[in-house]
Amino acid sequence: MHRRTLRPVATTADDLIAGLRNNGHRITAARRAVCRVVADAGSDHLTAGDVHGLVLRNGTQLDQSTVYRTLEALEEAGLVRHGHLGHGSAVYHLSDEASHQHLVCSNCGRTVAIDALQMSAITADVEDWTGFVVDVDHFALAGLCSDCNRR
């Protein structure tokens, strides 16, 4: 099993704010705070609830709906992507992170990320068999991790 190596994430809060501004969004203190949290997360994957909690902990008061609207605006600007790691909430991460696929253990919840290039042989086979082009960034694959598989 190969672990992914991410490109260094260089997006700053100022980059995210500029992206929002370039897409015609008004920049408020709440949006600045959300951008700071997302940029500071680097390659970590955060739910909107995580972002909301971190913004509140940093001293900025805002509604969770503001977090959702800001994440949506960042995604529309191509600065943030979201994915699903299972039955829980969507997770968000910076778009300049390397494309990757998540493997989630159905037993213990462990998540392993692998580079999308490592999935290319599998996705090429799926496309050959079905004509379907797989988006490996959006949904996780469920199964058993190596520890749970040994039990």
* Domain edges within the chain: 13-94, 100-150
> What sign for the dihedral angle of Cα 105, 38, 34, 136?
negative
Distance CA 127, CA 81 (A): 23
pLDDT tens string, the chain, 151 residues long: the values are 323 334 444 589 999 999 999 999 999 999 999 999 999 998 788 999 999 999 999 999 999 999 999 999 999 998 998 888 877 788 888 886 567 778 888 888 888 878 777 888 888 898 999 999 887 766 778 889 999 988 7
For residues 85 and 81, give the distance between their C-alpha atoms in angstroms, rounded to a whole number. Answer: 13
Give 13-94's CATH code, choosing from 1.10.10.10, 3.30.830.10, 3.40.50.150, 1.10.510.10.
1.10.10.10
Tell me the fold of 100-150. Dna Ligase; domain 1 (3.30.1490)
